Amino acid sequence: MVDPKKNDKDEVCKVDESELKWTCPPIRNVTHPLRYYELTPDEMKALEECDRESFYERCLPFSTLFAALTYTGIRLGRLRAHPHFGSYPKVMLAAFIGHCFGRVSYIPECGFKLRTDLPANSHLGNTMRKYYNEANPPKKK
């Protein structure tokens, strides 16, 4: 049960009885270990390839399909057009949703590409391989 009189400060900070002030531990400035990491040319090339492939193989087809279905739905009367803007807002929203869906659906293929195509001395490749192996341990036979 939560004590309504207890403040969040009570758990972390302490009252200094002599000065009647709150004293808290110093805040540590923790930065991410990869904050200043620079990608190698191989890593850049692999990421650019993932970006290009995800756009042409997933985003463009899904955006086109979703927009065409939405436009067809409006023309057939299944969806209502906006009184002032017409079908434009719904078609653009459908295209954007298709784009996002395409990007998200390509994530596993890009992860596979980064795990397999990057050389053994690539920090990004090693990190991807490490986390994939931790998440998917080998199955016992």
Instruction: Give the DSSP H/E element, type plus range, for residue 23.
Output: strand 21-23
Look at residue 134 in the predicted model and tell me its pLDDT.
82
Q: Taking residues 58-79, what's their average pLDDT? A: 95
Q: Is the pLDDT of residue 60 over 50?
A: yes
Is residue 26, in this structure, part of any structural domain at all? no
Rounded Cα distance, 3 and 59, in Å: 51
pLDDT 10s digits, 6-36: 444 445 666 666 666 666 766 676 776 667 8
- Residue 130's φ and ψ, nearest 5 degrees, are -65, -50
CA 70 to CA 73: how far, in whole Å? 5
- β-partners of residue 15 are 22
Is 56 a domain residue? yes
Residue 51 lies in a domain: yes
Residue 82 belongs to a domain: yes
In a domain, 92, yes or no: yes
Q: What is the pLDDT of residues 70-116, one digit of tens each?
A: 999 999 989 899 889 989 999 999 999 999 999 999 999 999 999 99
pLDDT in tens, 48-57: 999 999 999 9
Of the candidate ranges 26-35, 36-45, 59-68, 130-139, the one whose mean pLDDT is the lowest: 26-35
- Confidence check: pLDDT of 140 > 60: yes
Domain range for 49: 41-135
- What pLDDT score was predicted for residue 105? 97
Residue 53, domain member (yes or no): yes
Cα 11–chain centre separation: 33
What band does 136 get if pLDDT is binned at 50, 70 and 90? confident
Query: What is the rounded CA–CA span in Å between residue 31 and residue 106?
Result: 29
Q: Model pTM?
A: 0.69
| Domain assignment present for 97 | yes
Q: Which of 57, 67, 34 has the alpha carbon at shortest distance from 107? A: 57
Domain count, the chain: 1
Q: What is the CB neighbour count within 10 angstroms for residue 75?
A: 11
In a domain, 141, yes or no: no
Write the single-letter amino acid at 96.
F
Residue 5 has pLDDT above 90, yes or no: no
Among 59, 65, 61, smallest CA distance to 102 is for: 59
CA distances from 124 to 46, 76, 128 (A): 11, 49, 6
Q: CB–CB of 58/106 below 8 Å?
A: yes
- What pLDDT was estimated at residue 1? 44
